[in-house]
Amino acid sequence: MVKRLLQATAAAAAISFAAVAYLYLSLPDVRPLRTVNPRTTAFMELRAREADKAGKKPRKAQQWVAYERISPSLKRAVIVAEDAAFFSHEGVDFDELEKSFQDSWNKGKRMRGGSTITQQLAKNLYLSPSRNPVRKIEELMIARRLEAELSKRRILELYLNVIEWGDGIWGAEAAARAYFQKPASALGADEAALLAASIINPRRFSPAHPSKYLLRRQELIRQRMGDVEPPAPAVGAVAGAPGGLP
């Protein structure tokens, strides 16, 4: 019986290792993102399919802007709202992830948030909103790969250009123009905090018609923005190209 148990354990370990190895080898190559901006994302394609299924014409408002042309206030606000430890982790905030697992286990609820900006970028670019455990493992692996290949500045630039900010609204430039009739470079602190507050669920909480909950989030973010200093533009950087700052 002991021998069978050891054999079963070894077999399970081998299968698990093989599964993880397969997932790792099948991950997307993120190296082109160093210099190439993605034309589409998994989330954009998902929303297009949803619109087609509902018999609607897919909407897509997006205008790519370089890191230097995004308001520092928006960078600060997004980091405060989504990933306060952005500059100190390597793609995965293990402390936050552990808290999420503990809450899920103790309260018997599905995992709450806890994804870093890098994880969210991985999910937006390549995956789906599904909470499938395998998808979560893929997200973690891609996040680590993004951190290994790209600078923090480039990760933040990509994130701010591809995330969803409402129905058919993608990225900071489209959001700034849709909600405030100005470019992303001109956003003030209050406007930036409101946009950052809505990331939690942009299809439910619209900056155009902010709820009391959204306004409370805006105020909390606004109060903490002074504690964050985003990476500065690289000296001599070409507009639209990733810089070398961490």
pLDDT of residue 16 exceeding 60: no
What residues contact 211, with CB distance under 8 A and at least 6 apart?
205
pLDDT of residue 129: 84
pLDDT band at 25 (very low <50, low <70, confident <90, very high): low
pLDDT by residue (tens digit) across 68-120?
999 999 999 999 999 999 998 988 876 666 565 555 545 555 444 569 999 99
pLDDT by residue (tens digit) across 108-152?
554 445 699 999 999 999 998 887 888 889 999 999 999 999 999
Write down the CATH superfamily of domain 2-227.
Biosynthetic peptidoglycan transglycosylase-like (1.10.3810.10)
pLDDT of residue 23: 55
Q: Which residue has the tokens 């500045």?
A: 153
pLDDT of residue 106: 55
pLDDT of residue 246: 33
For the whole prediction, is pTM greater than 0.75? yes
pLDDT of residue 83: 95
Secondary structure, 3-state, the chain: CHHHHHHHHHHHHHHHHHHHHHHHHCCCCCHHHHCCCCCCCHHHHHHHHHHHHCCCCCCCECCCCCHHHCCHHHHHHHHHHHCCCCCCCCCCCHHHHHHHHHHHHHHCCCCCCCCCHHHHHHHHHHCCCCCCHHHHHHHHHHHHHHHHHCCHHHHHHHHHHHCECCCCEEHHHHHHHHHHCCCHHHCCHHHHHHHHHHCCCCCCCCCCCCCHHHHHHHHHHHHHHHHCCCCCCCCCCCCCCCCCCC
- Contact of 44 with 58, CB cutoff 8 Å: no
For the chain, give every domain's residue range.
2-227
pLDDT by residue (tens digit) across 36-68?
999 999 999 999 999 999 999 999 999 999 999
Q: List residues bridging with 61 in a β-sheet.
A: 169
pLDDT of residue 244: 30
Higher-pLDDT residue of 153 and 94 is: 153
Dist CA 243 CA 187 (whole Å): 22
- Contact of 76 with 192, CB cutoff 8 Å: yes
pLDDT by residue (tens digit) across 191-242?
999 999 999 999 999 999 999 999 999 999 999 998 777 766 654 443 333 3
